[in-house]
């Protein structure tokens, strides 16, 4: 594994750690760029169906962080994923 790949994995790890500690986290996608030119994307998806979320007091979110960069003429990317258990809001 090269230095660039190692930096990308570090960035993914940091993104997931930040998402894991947010007080609130909702499903969706955000993206942007780091100062080093790498692009990042954070996808949060609900696991289970609507009935699961209604039946249980907690739900699961999959957090996937992807970092993409240009290496010569090739686009490279690395992704890491984690699961976060969250309380289900009741109305």
Domain containing residue 63: CATH number? 3.30.1300
Cα 88 from chain centroid (whole Å): 20
Question: What is the domain extent for residue 26?
Answer: 3-87
Total count of domains within the chain: 1
Nearest CA among 70, 71, 67, 69 for reference residue 79: 67
Look at the block and give the residue holding tokens 């954070």. 42
The rounded distance, in Å, linking the Cα atoms of 41 and 67 is 7
- Region class of 53: left (phi > 0), else alpha (psi between -120 and 50), else beta: alpha
Q: Provide the pLDDT for residue 1.
A: 53
What is the band of 49 on the pLDDT scale with cuts at 50, 70, 90?
very high
More confident residue, 7 or 31: 31
């Amino acid at each position: 594994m090269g230095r660039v790949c190692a930096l990308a994995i570090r960035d993914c790890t940091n993104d997931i750690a930040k998402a894991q500690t947010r007080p609130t986290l909702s499903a969706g996608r955000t993206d942007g760029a780091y100062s080093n030119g790498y692009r990042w994307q954070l996808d949060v998806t609900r696991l289970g169906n609507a009935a699961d979320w209604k039946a249980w007091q907690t739900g699961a979110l999959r957090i996937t962080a992807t970092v993409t960069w240009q290496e010569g003429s090739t686009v490279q990317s690395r992704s890491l994923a984690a699961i976060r258990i969250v309380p289900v809001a009741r109305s």
